[in-house]
Amino acid sequence: MFLAEFEVLIRQRRATRHFQPVPVERGLLERLLRMAQWAPSGYNLQPTRYIVVEDRALRPALRRACMDQAPVEEAPIVVVFAGDGRAFEDRFDAILAQELREGDMPAAYAERLRRVVPLMCNCGPAGLGWLWKATLLPVVRLFRPLPDVVAVHRRFWTAKQVMLNAMNFILAAEAAGLNTLPMEGFDRNRLRKVLQLPRSMEPVLVVALGYAASSPGRKTRLPLESVVLWR
């Protein structure tokens, strides 16, 4: 896709409030999810999980958890984008092995990740390891720059990773002629209960997907000069 075409795609995307009762083909949906997966993630931990809600019987409870937003019941598909708080513990070794097996990562870099990533992500015994990291970080920053540590800022870090995936999905859906409604208004604990998610799974965004029942309205944006700082 040329840059001009991509710009048109971005500018025409709108949140859709009403959907047609037209199903989304499973193959197309899986293709969109695979495209979402190609978003970048810190240390390639890929913590984003996609809960695809097709079951109509779940929709009333899901709608209540989403602050009674009607598109949750109306759209043929609802995808909950969540972050897996155990991505490091459960997947790091397997991801590293896969990267090495595919020849995409130098062995020296893999060894560096084996030292750095556990320090950044591991919460230690009983999940309390983040305490000493949270205490030590402000002291170390007096002498050298340090990034935010995942173990200390896990929810914030996870949300960043998930939103990158969600934007890939939303733009891919637009390119496929589908429409979306991203929703941040939901009770995450009720959402977990409805979808039977473990506490380690952090819901970040709910996206209704389907074909718009009407043309979305126009939107505006602030002037570029009011949001850009040049240094």
How far apart are the C-alpha atoms of 32 and 178, rounded to whole Å? 10
Query: 3-class DSSP state for residue 77?
Result: strand
Q: Quote the radius of gyration of the chain (alpha carbons, Å).
A: 20
pTM of the model: 0.92
Q: Which residue has the higher pLDDT, 139 or 42?
A: 42
DSSP codes joined into one string, 189-204: HHHHHHHT--TTEEEE
Of the candidates 191, 213, 205, the one whose C-alpha atom is nearest the C-alpha of residue 64 is: 191
Rounded average pLDDT over 131-136: 80
Q: What percent of the chain has pLDDT over 90?
A: 77
Write the pLDDT tens digit of every residue in 91-126: 999 999 999 998 778 989 999 999 989 888 888 776
Say yes or no to pLDDT of 226 above 70: yes
Q: What is the DSSP string of 105-117?
A: S-HHHHHHHHHHH
Residue 205: name the closest of 193, 219, 188, 190 by CA: 188
